[in-house]
Amino acid sequence: GQQLNQSPQSMFIQEGEDVSMNCTSSSIFNTWLWYKQEPGEGPVLLIALYKAGELTSNGRLTAQFGITRKDSFLNISASIPSDVGIYFCAGRASGTYKYIFGTGTRLKVLA
Amino acid sequence: NAGVTQTPKFRVLKTGQSMTLLCAQDMNHEYMYWYRQDPGMGLRLIHYSVGEGTTAKGEVPDGYNVSRLKKQNFLLGLESAAPSQTSVYFCASSPNPGQGGGYTFGSGTRLTVV
Protein backbone atom coordinates (compact mmCIF):
# COMPACT_ATOMS: atom_id res chain seq x y z
CA GLY A 1 0.00 0.00 0.00
CA GLN A 2 0.96 3.61 -0.47
CA GLN A 3 2.90 5.16 2.36
CA LEU A 4 4.46 8.51 2.94
CA ASN A 5 8.20 9.04 3.07
CA GLN A 6 9.01 10.31 6.52
CA SER A 7 12.48 11.37 7.58
CA PRO A 8 14.58 10.96 9.49
CA GLN A 9 13.71 7.44 10.62
CA SER A 10 15.24 8.10 14.04
CA MET A 11 16.93 10.88 15.94
CA PHE A 12 19.01 11.05 19.09
CA ILE A 13 19.25 14.57 20.44
CA GLN A 14 20.33 16.37 23.57
CA GLU A 15 17.75 17.92 25.85
CA GLY A 16 17.20 21.54 24.87
CA GLU A 17 17.92 21.06 21.18
CA ASP A 18 15.42 21.81 18.44
CA VAL A 19 14.08 18.99 16.25
CA SER A 20 12.91 19.00 12.64
CA MET A 21 11.28 16.20 10.71
CA ASN A 22 9.38 16.04 7.46
CA CYS A 23 7.03 14.00 5.39
CA THR A 24 6.79 13.86 1.59
CA SER A 25 4.31 12.36 -0.81
CA SER A 26 4.01 11.83 -4.54
CA SER A 27 0.35 12.85 -4.27
CA ILE A 28 -1.27 16.17 -3.43
CA PHE A 29 -3.00 16.19 -0.06
CA ASN A 30 -5.78 18.35 1.34
CA THR A 31 -5.10 17.54 4.96
CA TRP A 32 -1.97 16.75 6.93
CA LEU A 33 -1.98 15.39 10.47
CA TRP A 34 0.85 14.88 12.94
CA TYR A 35 0.62 12.25 15.69
CA LYS A 36 2.83 11.23 18.60
CA GLN A 37 2.95 7.69 19.95
CA GLU A 38 4.45 6.96 23.34
CA PRO A 39 5.56 3.46 24.33
CA GLY A 40 2.63 1.14 24.98
CA GLU A 41 0.05 3.67 23.81
CA GLY A 42 -1.84 4.53 20.67
CA PRO A 43 -0.98 7.57 18.52
CA VAL A 44 -2.33 10.88 19.78
CA LEU A 45 -3.17 13.76 17.45
CA LEU A 46 -0.84 16.75 17.87
CA ILE A 47 -1.63 19.09 15.00
CA ALA A 48 -4.00 19.15 12.01
CA LEU A 49 -3.33 21.25 8.89
CA TYR A 50 -5.95 22.02 6.25
CA LYS A 51 -4.49 24.64 3.91
CA ALA A 52 -1.32 24.94 1.82
CA GLY A 53 1.17 27.20 3.58
CA GLU A 54 -0.63 26.92 6.91
CA LEU A 55 1.60 27.14 9.98
CA THR A 56 0.09 25.87 13.23
CA SER A 57 1.57 25.62 16.71
CA ASN A 58 0.74 23.49 19.72
CA GLY A 59 3.00 24.57 22.57
CA ARG A 60 6.61 23.89 21.56
CA LEU A 61 5.46 22.09 18.43
CA THR A 62 5.00 23.83 15.10
CA ALA A 63 3.84 22.16 11.90
CA GLN A 64 3.58 23.47 8.37
CA PHE A 65 1.55 22.41 5.36
CA GLY A 66 3.94 22.62 2.41
CA ILE A 67 3.19 25.03 -0.43
CA THR A 68 3.35 22.22 -3.00
CA ARG A 69 0.78 20.28 -0.91
CA LYS A 70 3.06 17.26 -1.20
CA ASP A 71 4.93 17.74 2.04
CA SER A 72 4.63 18.75 5.65
CA PHE A 73 7.09 19.61 8.41
CA LEU A 74 7.12 19.31 12.18
CA ASN A 75 9.45 21.23 14.45
CA ILE A 76 9.91 20.79 18.19
CA SER A 77 11.70 23.55 20.01
CA ALA A 78 13.77 23.14 23.18
CA SER A 79 13.21 19.38 23.45
CA ILE A 80 12.60 17.79 26.84
CA PRO A 81 12.78 14.11 27.91
CA SER A 82 9.00 13.64 27.63
CA ASP A 83 9.19 14.39 23.89
CA VAL A 84 10.46 10.84 23.46
CA GLY A 85 8.25 8.76 21.19
CA ILE A 86 7.42 8.03 17.59
CA TYR A 87 6.06 10.87 15.49
CA PHE A 88 3.80 9.98 12.57
CA CYS A 89 2.55 12.12 9.75
CA ALA A 90 -0.67 11.29 7.92
CA GLY A 91 -2.11 12.77 4.76
CA ARG A 92 -5.46 12.69 3.01
CA ALA A 93 -6.13 13.46 -0.63
CA SER A 94 -9.17 15.28 -1.95
CA GLY A 95 -12.11 12.99 -2.64
CA THR A 96 -10.88 10.26 -0.31
CA TYR A 97 -11.67 9.60 3.31
CA LYS A 98 -8.71 7.46 4.26
CA TYR A 99 -5.49 8.83 5.68
CA ILE A 100 -2.15 7.45 4.60
CA PHE A 101 0.41 7.19 7.39
CA GLY A 102 4.15 7.71 7.30
CA THR A 103 6.49 5.11 8.76
CA GLY A 104 7.34 7.33 11.71
CA THR A 105 10.30 9.21 13.18
CA ARG A 106 11.58 7.70 16.42
CA LEU A 107 12.84 10.46 18.72
CA LYS A 108 15.09 9.90 21.70
CA VAL A 109 16.12 12.75 23.98
CA LEU A 110 19.28 12.47 26.05
CA ALA A 111 19.15 14.35 29.33
CA ASN B 1 -14.41 10.72 28.15
CA ALA B 2 -13.36 7.18 27.34
CA GLY B 3 -12.76 7.83 23.62
CA VAL B 4 -11.74 4.55 21.97
CA THR B 5 -11.48 1.47 24.16
CA GLN B 6 -9.83 -1.76 23.04
CA THR B 7 -10.03 -5.12 24.74
CA PRO B 8 -8.05 -7.14 25.55
CA LYS B 9 -4.75 -5.27 26.00
CA PHE B 10 -2.61 -8.38 25.69
CA ARG B 11 -3.21 -11.88 24.38
CA VAL B 12 -1.16 -14.95 23.55
CA LEU B 13 -2.66 -17.41 21.07
CA LYS B 14 -1.55 -20.76 19.78
CA THR B 15 -1.35 -21.22 16.03
CA GLY B 16 -4.77 -22.13 14.69
CA GLN B 17 -6.77 -20.65 17.55
CA SER B 18 -9.36 -17.98 16.95
CA MET B 19 -10.15 -14.78 18.79
CA THR B 20 -12.02 -11.51 18.51
CA LEU B 21 -10.61 -8.09 19.32
CA LEU B 22 -13.16 -5.60 20.56
CA CYS B 23 -13.24 -1.86 19.87
CA ALA B 24 -15.76 0.56 21.32
CA GLN B 25 -16.03 4.33 20.82
CA ASP B 26 -18.28 6.78 22.60
CA MET B 27 -17.83 9.79 20.31
CA ASN B 28 -20.64 8.94 17.88
CA HIS B 29 -18.10 8.64 15.05
CA GLU B 30 -19.26 7.23 11.74
CA TYR B 31 -15.92 5.83 10.61
CA MET B 32 -13.90 3.12 12.32
CA TYR B 33 -10.63 1.42 11.39
CA TRP B 34 -8.38 -1.47 12.35
CA TYR B 35 -4.63 -1.12 11.91
CA ARG B 36 -1.69 -3.33 12.68
CA GLN B 37 1.69 -1.96 13.65
CA ASP B 38 4.88 -3.88 13.08
CA PRO B 39 8.47 -2.68 13.62
CA GLY B 40 9.65 -0.57 10.70
CA MET B 41 6.32 -0.90 8.88
CA GLY B 42 4.32 1.94 10.37
CA LEU B 43 0.55 1.58 10.54
CA ARG B 44 -1.12 -0.66 7.98
CA LEU B 45 -4.87 -0.62 7.46
CA ILE B 46 -6.56 -4.01 7.82
CA HIS B 47 -10.27 -3.21 7.47
CA TYR B 48 -12.44 -0.17 7.95
CA SER B 49 -16.09 0.84 8.18
CA VAL B 50 -17.83 3.99 7.01
CA GLY B 51 -20.96 3.36 9.02
CA GLU B 52 -23.05 0.85 10.93
CA GLY B 53 -23.49 -2.34 8.96
CA THR B 54 -20.69 -1.56 6.48
CA THR B 55 -17.16 -2.92 6.21
CA ALA B 56 -14.41 -2.70 3.61
CA LYS B 57 -10.94 -4.13 3.05
CA GLY B 58 -7.81 -2.15 3.69
CA GLU B 59 -4.29 -2.94 2.50
CA VAL B 60 -3.67 -6.11 4.54
CA PRO B 61 -7.07 -7.84 5.05
CA ASP B 62 -6.10 -11.48 4.55
CA GLY B 63 -6.66 -13.66 7.60
CA TYR B 64 -8.98 -11.16 9.28
CA ASN B 65 -12.71 -10.51 9.33
CA VAL B 66 -14.65 -7.61 10.82
CA SER B 67 -18.17 -6.70 11.80
CA ARG B 68 -19.90 -3.41 12.63
CA LEU B 69 -23.31 -4.41 13.93
CA LYS B 70 -23.58 -1.34 16.14
CA LYS B 71 -22.26 2.14 15.37
CA GLN B 72 -20.13 2.27 18.49
CA ASN B 73 -18.47 -1.14 18.09
CA PHE B 74 -16.04 -2.55 15.53
CA LEU B 75 -14.89 -6.15 15.96
CA LEU B 76 -11.80 -7.73 14.42
CA GLY B 77 -11.72 -11.51 14.15
CA LEU B 78 -8.89 -13.94 13.54
CA GLU B 79 -10.35 -17.27 12.49
CA SER B 80 -7.13 -19.29 12.52
CA ALA B 81 -4.23 -17.38 14.01
CA ALA B 82 -0.77 -17.57 12.42
CA PRO B 83 2.61 -16.41 13.78
CA SER B 84 2.65 -13.74 11.04
CA GLN B 85 -0.28 -12.11 12.82
CA THR B 86 1.85 -11.36 15.85
CA SER B 87 1.57 -7.59 16.04
CA VAL B 88 0.13 -4.64 17.89
CA TYR B 89 -3.42 -3.89 16.74
CA PHE B 90 -4.93 -0.43 16.93
CA CYS B 91 -8.51 0.58 16.48
CA ALA B 92 -9.37 4.15 15.50
CA SER B 93 -12.49 6.15 14.86
CA SER B 94 -13.25 9.45 13.19
CA PRO B 95 -16.06 11.63 11.97
CA ASN B 96 -16.31 11.89 8.19
CA PRO B 97 -12.71 12.92 7.34
CA GLY B 98 -14.05 15.31 4.74
CA GLN B 99 -15.46 17.36 7.60
CA GLY B 100 -12.08 17.80 9.24
CA GLY B 101 -10.56 16.24 12.30
CA GLY B 102 -8.34 13.21 12.50
CA TYR B 103 -8.48 9.73 13.87
CA THR B 104 -8.77 8.96 17.57
CA PHE B 105 -6.83 5.81 18.40
CA GLY B 106 -7.26 3.24 21.14
CA SER B 107 -4.31 2.16 23.26
CA GLY B 108 -3.76 -1.06 21.32
CA THR B 109 -3.89 -4.82 21.72
CA ARG B 110 -0.58 -6.65 21.77
CA LEU B 111 -1.10 -10.09 20.22
CA THR B 112 1.46 -12.87 20.17
CA VAL B 113 0.83 -16.04 18.18
CA VAL B 114 3.07 -18.96 19.11
Determine the Cα–Cα distance for residues A97 and A36; give it in Å rounded to an integer.
21
Q: What is the pLDDT of residues B39-69, one digit of tens each?
A: 877 899 999 999 999 999 998 999 999 999 9
Which residues numbered 11-30 in A keep a CB inside 8 Å of some CB on B?
none
pLDDT band at A1 (very low <50, low <70, confident <90, very high): low
Subunit contact B90:A104, Cβ cutoff 8 A: no
In a 10 Å sphere around its CB, with 0-12 CB exposed, 13-18 middle and 19+ buried, how is residue B1 labelled? exposed
Q: What percent of chain B has pLDDT over 70?
A: 99
Residue in chain A closest to B101 (alpha carbons) equals A48
Answer whether B3's CB lies under 8 Å from B26's CB: yes
Residue in chain A closest to B31 (alpha carbons) equals A97
Determine the Cα–Cα distance for residues B3 and B23; give it in Å rounded to an integer.
10
Answer whether A103's CB lies under 8 Å from A24's CB: no
Answer whether A75's CB lies under 8 Å from A18's CB: yes
In the predicted structure, residue A26 carries a pLDDT above the cut 80: yes
Task: Give the 3-state DSSP-derived string for B33-67, with helices as H, strands as E and coil as C.
Answer: EEEEEECCCEEEEEEEECCCCCCEECCCCCCEEEE
In a 10 Å sphere around its CB, with 0-12 CB exposed, 13-18 middle and 19+ buried, how is residue B45 labelled? buried
CA distance B25 to chain A (A): 14
Q: Up-side HSE of residue A36: CA atoms within 13 Å toward CB?
A: 16
Subunit contact A97:B106, Cβ cutoff 8 A: no
